[in-house]
Chain A
Amino acid sequence: MIFLKNVSLQFDQKVILNNVDFKVNQGDRVAIIGESGCGKSTLLKLILGFLQPNNGDVLYNGVSISSMTTSELRSMRMKVGMLFQSAALFDSMTVGENVAFSWCENQGEDYDKVSDKVNEVLEMVDMAGYADDMPASLSGGQRKRIGLARTIAMSPDVILYDEPTTGLDPILSTSIENLIVKLSKEFGITTIMVSHQKSTILRTVDTIYMMNDANLIYAGTPLTIEKSDNELVRNFMSGGL
């Protein structure tokens, strides 16, 4: 489904990814861990075609993203949703308009006609009743959840989560984690997650990769990762993650 083939990327002189091979199949739930600034968010942006690799290829369903036309790229992005690390809500729009964005702009629906659907999705992320608020008046964790709602509303096949539970209290974290698992199990949504939150990773994914030295290495499953042969992985996990 998503395949990074020999991908290398550098910013100016700095090597972020070096010959990365990474494959995610439909329905997989995968997490990527790694120290801050190593290039995890960059990797997600590569998958969406916001950045072009200096070397190698990113394939979506076997098609190279760099060879896609604008309209092919747009239809690919209809299928691949992203929750941004910063939530990236449109701050000129209300919460409800943010959530309804794809319905209104991609499907041409009237905002007034989708308000029920908006409330439904807001409820899924525990944000019912916020539809008329502006993003600027929300806390970081609340924005994160609206960002997630906006992504879910697209009903994508793949969701890229960049730190989905940072800034949430343990109870909310758990409810978002449950939601992520539910989306994956009920709708078969492929999940690629970047997270520092140990509990989130252990509860939501099947496979964990670690980014190290501009490369992705297999780190284990939630059951095996803490007993990994790799010292780096063990340290990372016991370091509180």
Chain B
Amino acid sequence: MSSKQLIRFFEGMGDFSLFFLRVVRGVFSLKFSWNRTLEQMVFMGLNSLSITIVTAAFVGMSFAFQVVKEFVRFGAAGLVGGILALAVWRELAPMMTGAVVAGRVGAAISAELGTMKVTEQVDALKSLSQDVILYLVCPRVVSLTIMMPLLICVADVIGYCFGFVIAYFFGSINPSLFLNSTQNLAGSLDILGGIFKGVFFGFFISIISSYQGLKTHSGAKGVGKSTRRAVVSSLIIVFILNYFLSMVIFS
């Protein structure tokens, strides 16, 4: 890395930190529109619901499939329910939902804001005396911070249920055994902890994607570029955050 790149990296970080602080201040000022926030929640929720369900179902099924195969072989069929619950609720559902939403909603945010930027709509907003952070960014950030945990709830239910079905049909595991082991191994902290991760995921995905969107320049090509950047950084942040949050919450 040349010194020029290094300087640019730190400039970028400084720029982002400033943006971050302004958004946080905007959110806590409560001066943004709740109507637009609600609109965004509906939009984001509807857009990510089906993809969240499909992802959670298949993740739950493939995990259950592997666990059932091995555990039954070692005579530990009684642990399957609990292991599945722990894995899905603590890690798989939050992380996979985070990744899916980073792609779906993160891209949508940065593409929308990026298009507004290159077509001068962002400037027009300012010229009409609006604050871009309050008008465009805060509703999106608040909305995804609320929606993300809800989507993880859905993924928790779907992933667990589909895993259960696989355990029943492929491992012939007794349903009451399955439920009992879930109760013995997993608790409400596992569910709530996983859902709580969603608050951070939603917050960071939306803030990073808004930042990238508003930084867009040089036309339609620039929109593609900033969208790609938004998705990649959101994904990485989700995985990194997931690790550290797990360490803190489940240790």
Contacts and interface: CB of A to CB of B under 8 A. Distances in A.
Interface of A: 45, 48, 50, 70, 74-75, 77-78, 80-82, 84-86, 88-91, 101-102, 105-106, 150, 154
Nearest to A84: B120
A105 B128 contact: yes
B120, B125, B128, B130: most-surrounded residue (chain A CB, <10 A): B128
A91 B121 contact: yes
Contacts of A84: 120, 123-124, 127
Contact of B121 (A74, A82, A90, A154): A90
5 contacts: A48-B126, A84-B120, A90-B116, A90-B121, A91-B121
A70 B129 CA distance: 10
**Dominant SS at the A interface?**
mixed
Contact of A82 (B116, B127, B131): B127
Given A74-B129, A88-B120, A105-B130, 16 more contacts: A45-B123, A48-B126, A48-B127, A50-B123, A50-B127, A70-B131, A75-B129, A78-B129, A80-B127, A84-B124, A84-B127, A88-B119, A90-B124, A105-B128, A150-B128, A154-B128
Interface of B: 116, 119-121, 123-131, 135
Interchain residue pairs A-B with the least CB separation, the first 6: A88-B124, A88-B120, A77-B129, A82-B127, A78-B129, A74-B129
A208 B233 CA distance: 49
A88 B130 contact: no
B93 to A, nearest CB: 32
B119 A77 contact: no
**Dominant SS at the B interface?**
helix
Contacts of A150: 128
Given A84-B120, A88-B120, A90-B121, A77 B127 contact: yes
Contacts of A50: 123, 126-127
Nearest to A106: B129
A165 B198 CA distance: 51
A151 to B, nearest CB: 8
Nearest to B135: A105
Contacts of A90: 116, 121, 124-125
Contacts of B125: 90
A86 B119 contact: yes
A235 to B, nearest CB: 31
A53 to B, nearest CB: 17
A116 to B, nearest CB: 21
Contacts of A85: 120
A150 B125 CA distance: 11
A105 B125 CA distance: 10
Contacts of B127: 48, 50, 77, 80-82, 84
B158 to A, nearest CB: 32
Contacts of B123: 45, 48, 50, 84, 88
Contacts of B126: 48, 50, 77
A50 B132 CA distance: 12
Contacts of B135: 105
A173 to B, nearest CB: 22
Contacts of B128: 77, 101-102, 105-106, 150, 154
A89 B131 CA distance: 17
A118 B123 CA distance: 22
Contacts of A81: 127
A88 B124 CA distance: 6
A61 B222 CA distance: 37
B204 to A, nearest CB: 24
A94 to B, nearest CB: 15
A82 B131 CA distance: 16
Nearest to A105: B130
Contacts of A102: 128-129
A50 B121 CA distance: 13
A26 B51 CA distance: 58
A75, A85, A101: most-surrounded residue (chain B CB, <10 A): A101
Contacts of B130: 74, 105-106
B120, B130, B135: most-surrounded residue (chain A CB, <10 A): B120
A190 to B, nearest CB: 15
